[in-house]
Every structure is written in C-alpha cells, then in structure tokens.
Amino acid sequence: MPDFAPGVLSDRQIKQLVASEVIQSPAPLEPGQYQPNSIDLRLGTVAYRVRCSFLPQDSTVQERLQSLEMYSFSLEFDGAVLERGQTYLIPLQEHLELPSAIRAKANPKSSTGRLDVFTRMLSDHSHRFEEVAAGYSGPLFLEVFPRTFPIKVQAGQSLNQLRFFNGDSELSDVELSAQLDARPLLYTDDGEALSVTDHHVENGLYMGIDLLGNGNGIIGYRAQRHSEVIDLAGIGRYEMRDFWEPVEAPGERPLILEPEEFYLFASAQRVAVPPELSAEMVPYDTASGELRTHYAGFFDSGFGWAQPRGARVVLEVRSHDVPFQVTHGQRFFRLNFQRNSEIPESLYGGTGSHYQSQGLALSKHFRV
C-alpha cells in the first residue's frame, strides 16, 4: 500500500488504490470514472424498491433490506424507470477494502443533483450517510429518491462519486484566510479578482446568490412536475421548456421561493479552485432559513481555474415548509476548502466536464 501525504487523494493515487485492490469491482474500472479528486461509482445490476430510507447502524445493509424490501427488478439490458416520490436501494459495483488510514465520502454527481434526484450512499454498520469509515471492508449501496422527474437508469451508470482522504485535510478559517491573502478565490463576471474584503470566512468561504442574471432576464429555472421520463443516457435529448420554467430577474425587488418547489440558480460570484486544493459545498445553515441549497457538493481541483478565472456555482434549491424571500448577493452557501495529498494529473475541465466555466446551466440532458 503506497504511503500518501495527508489530504484529499488525487486521480493518480486513486488508481494506485485500484491497483492495490483497495477498490474492487467485478467489472474493470473505466478511464472515464476517474475525476481529479474522486471516482465515479457505478450502479449494479439490480434495484430494490424499499418502504423507507434507513441507516444500517449495527447491521449490514443486506440484513436491514430483508425487512424493508417491497420488490426487486433488473437494471441490465434496457434498464428500468425509477418513479418520482419512491425510494430505491441499488448495490454499487465497487467494493472497498480501506486501509486504517484512509476514509471516504460520497456526493451526488452534478447532473444527478440538477435533476432533483436525491441520492445517499450507505455502507455496512454505519450510522451516517455518505461517509465511509477508515478501515472499512465491504460493499457500497446507493439510496435513490427521484423528487421531481421520473428517471430511467441502467447498470453501469454513475449517479454519485467517492472522494478519499488520508488524515486531516480541511483548511481552518485561519489557513483559508492565509490562502486569500496570498491570492483571490472569488472573481467577477469579467474575471477580475475580488479583494480580500469581499470574502466572508466563517467555517468556510461564504458565497451569495445571483438575482441579476447575465442580461437575458433569466436568473434561474423552476422544475415542472408531471413530466415525461428522463433517460440518463439521453445526453442533449430533451427540450428545456418541457421540464423547466424560466425564472425572470425580479429587478430591484426580492424573490420569494415557493415551498417545496425545486429551483436552479447561480452564485453571484465566480470561484476558482487552485490545483493544490479541492472544495466541498456544505449544507445550508438552517438557522439562516429552511432551505436546501445543493445536492452535489464536490468541487475538484481546477474548477474555474481556466482563463478568465472563475466559474459560477449552480445552486439546487428547495425551500421547506414556508415561502422564503431572497435578495441579490444574499449569503446563501459556503465552501469548505481542503488540501490535496498531491496535485492531480488531470484538473477539472481537462476530464471533458460539461460544466467547466459554467454560468447558469441545466444538466447535460437538455439541449442548450
């Protein structure tokens, strides 16, 4: 087993984990699964419709599944449709044999979150979603809950990704402030660096929501309910207007979000993640409002690093229970930055991402 420096593991180091059989799979891993700081996980061949979500706690996932399974069906060949508002559990193809120093954490892929598909990874004997303890040996499972659109999935497709950590990786506020003193991380639309006084650091770097738009009058999208099925293999297949309603800029007025509606917005600032760092968007503080501001949270090294500097963060937003008012630039979410164990071989955007240098962007399934 290689000896890694502390931090988030790179694509090269993840390949070493595969070569060392820390990451195992009955089907060989494909080159497209490797991201700068993570690996895409693939759906297995069978899905289970379950009565409810659960955590295995002191049991294995399979043991808990026996009492919660309603029926199972195959994801092979032409795949299957997952209905909106239903909970599914899908064993993943990848299996872990983590050494005692390596832990892991999962997040949905960007396209998954932008389709309002709620996913959470489970591992045996765990009391937390998405997190895999150091030294874990066992299978991985994905809970899938399509909230707005029914989706068609097939074995081998990826809905989530896994990041690996060796020791402590997260920058403290003091360390993040030192980074900001050395160079900016936030930029304007024109690629001009924002001054250090424009950065708010408090348990991470805070960013705001854009309600002005880029001149076309559109600042977001609201999902339509009762649409047709979205085939996850259908890249660029669907018309935006059949699934989304544009949200127009409110001008000088605030915007009121309707409860339990799903929106896509963009950040007011652009962010650039340096090659030696990676980042994660963390859940909105409910003390600041009953909102969910994202599903997909990983930002790989090099995100927004191309010229002109910076890419907007797309926000997947749902207001819970009550209408919620937002104003332009309102602090809406924060990024935690993490040091890398080493600089990745391939930076974000060099992997063929659909979202490098993005503005307000729907998932890759919709025609531009």
266 part of a folded domain: yes
In this prediction the pTM is: 0.94
Domain at 46, CATH number: 2.70.40.10
DSSP letter, residue 296? -
Burial class (CB in 10 A: 0-12, 13-18, 19+), 127: exposed
pLDDT above 70: residue 357: no
Could you give the maximum distance between any two Cα atoms of the chain, in Å? Answer: 58
Q: Are residues 141 and 229 in the same domain?
A: no
**pLDDT digits 0-9 by tens, 224-282:** 988 899 999 999 999 999 999 999 999 878 999 999 899 999 999 999 999 999 999 98
Helix (H, G, I), strand (E, B) or coil at 11: helix
| Beta bridge partner(s), residue 271 | 186, 311
Residue pair 282/298 in contact by the 8 Å Cβ criterion: no
Count the neighbouring beta carbons within 10 Å of the beta carbon of residue 198: 12
Nearest to 118 by CA among 146, 81, 141: 146
Please, what is the average pLDDT of the chain?
A: 91
Q: Are residues 180 and 156 in the same domain?
A: no
Instruction: Select from 120, 145, 166 the last residue of a domain.
Output: 166
Domain count, the chain: 2
Q: Are residues 116 and 233 in the same domain?
A: no
Q: Are residues 14 and 151 in the same domain?
A: yes
Instruction: Select from 146, 166, 186 the last residue of a domain.
Output: 166
Q: Are residues 216 and 329 in the same domain?
A: yes
Which two structure tokens, joined as six digits, stand for 228? 């047709």
Q: Are residues 41 and 177 in the same domain?
A: no
Q: Range of 316's domain?
A: 173-339
**pLDDT digits 0-9 by tens, 71-84:** 999 999 999 999 99
Residue 229: alpha-carbon gap to chain centroid: 22
Q: Are residues 256 and 297 in the same domain?
A: yes
Instruction: Select from 166, 197, 213 the last residue of a domain.
Output: 166
348 part of a folded domain: no
Q: Are residues 154 and 267 in the same domain?
A: no
Give the type of residue at 121: M
241 part of a folded domain: yes
Nearest to 109 by CA among 42, 38, 34, 159: 159
Burial class (CB in 10 A: 0-12, 13-18, 19+), 78: exposed
